[in-house]
Every structure is written in C-alpha cells, then in structure tokens.
C-alpha cells in the first residue's frame, strides 16, 4: 500500500516506462493504492514479462487532457506489457456515480481508451462544458 502517485511514477520513470509511460500520460491521482506486480526476468535475451494489478481504494483519478476528475475511485486496473484494462472501476464524476472501463485498443497499443458510463444531467454537462448545448436548449 502506498501513494497512487508513486505507482504512476513507477510506470513513467522506471525501466517499465518503455512499455507504460505512454499509457499513463496525462493521468494523475491522489490517495492510497495497492500494486501487485509479477515480473518474469529471463536469463537469456527473451523480453521480460509482467502482469500487474492496481487496487484503487477511494482514490482521486485525474484525466488532465480532458480536465476531468473522477473521485472516490474504487476497483482494479490490470496490465501487462502490452495492455491496460479493467471493467470494475467506479467513481464519482460531476456528482454522479459512474462506471469506468479502460482498455488498450487493438489498433493502437500505445493508446488508452477510457469509457465512462453513468447518468449525468444535461444541465450539469452544459455548465461543465459551456461550448456545448443541451439537446433541449
């Protein structure tokens, strides 16, 4: 158990950065998190293999480019050297409980797809994103 920011730093600034830095680019967070990491270090020229799981426990997850913060994040984020994925993350976005799905698209292994599902009132979205208009406006 340790600060979520330390886990992100491990993926960005350690020898793991070659595989993971681009996947967590633009992500920051606060709170405590637990990282489980299995690493297979071959003694020959075979690339290392790893599997990891990050447990969120009421964390704050910030998506910088989108200027969005998901509060009270709970669930797991799993990864290996090629993929980032989850389907059991939940949190609060703009005062509404949401489900978060994360995946690495097959067409671009250096990208991360984040899908947030929930029911956020149109007026809340219009206030948050003033450049957009409500369907009822």
Domain limits for position 77: 2-128
Higher per-residue confidence, 134 vs 115: 115
Task: Quick: pLDDT tens for 14-57.
Answer: 877 777 777 677 888 899 889 898 988 889 988 878 888 989 99
User: Number of structural domains, the chain?
Assistant: 1
Residue 51 lies in a domain: yes
Q: Whole-model pTM? A: 0.74
Residue 10 lies in a domain: yes
Q: State which H helix or E strand residue 104 sits in.
A: none
Residue 78 lies in a domain: yes
How far is residue 38 CA from its own chain's centroid? 19
Q: Are 90 and 97 in contact (CB under 8 A)?
A: yes
Q: Are 55 and 73 in contact (CB under 8 A)?
A: no
């Amino acid at each position: 158990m340790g600060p979520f920011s330390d886990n992100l730093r491990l993926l960005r600034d350690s020898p793991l950065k070659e595989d993971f830095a681009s996947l967590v680019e633009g992500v920051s967070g606060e709170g405590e998190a637990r990282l489980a990491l299995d690493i297979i270090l071959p003694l020959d020229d075979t690339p290392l293999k790893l599997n990891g799981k990050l447990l969120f426990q009421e964390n704050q997850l910030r998506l910088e480019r989108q200027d969005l913060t998901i509060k009270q994040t709970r669930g797991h984020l799993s990864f290996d050297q090629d993929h980032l994925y989850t389907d059991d993350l939940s949190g609060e976005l703009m005062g509404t409980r949401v489900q978060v799905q994360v995946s690495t698209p097959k067409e671009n292994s250096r990208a991360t797809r984040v899908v947030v599902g929930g029911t956020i009132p149109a007026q809340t979205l219009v206030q948050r994103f003033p450049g957009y208009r409500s369907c009822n406006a």
